[in-house]
Structure 1
Amino acid sequence: MEGSGLKTLFTSGTIQGEYGFYRSHDGGVNWIRINDDRHQYGDIRSISGDPRVFGRIYVATGTRGLVYGDIDEQEEGLIE
């Protein structure tokens, strides 16, 4: 979380049988899915968090360019 000593982690893959993009605020103990089934982004080449903006993720795709998302404070998810 913001102000915590832990870094926010991001990953893409399958967690508990559901593929997606995930964020963790507790060192990878718990994961929050930050995309939905409508936003898969095609061929994923790379993902990275922004060290200057809490919760921001960048997704480099092979088919849709570079996309990024910030935390939606109401839903705690990814917004475009």
Structure 2
Amino acid sequence: MTRATIDRPFLVQRLREWSLFRAITLKLPWQPDDLLTSSNWLQLMTAAGTNPEATEILAEAGRTKRIRNTAKATLNHHRQS
């Protein structure tokens, strides 16, 4: 796998992010700093997800206003359910 990705930094980043997204979704161990330094794409996908810990982190410290608002809306939706 290393040979297939060595000259493709975007692919390497996206594979890392999919692995992080999987860990967050399945409630496996993950680091908040990894989420906060991830791309807008991953933060937005996670903000709309089902992991309350990750959603709370993004509601407070997501990179963009859209990410923070999506996370807040997700939290409100889960609280009302």
State the TM-score bracket (shorter-chain normalisation). under 0.3
Normalized per residue, which structure has more strand? Answer: 1
Q: Judging by fraction of residues, say which structure has more helix.
A: 2
How high is the TM-score relative to the length of structure 1? 0.23
> TM-score, normalization: structure 2?
0.22
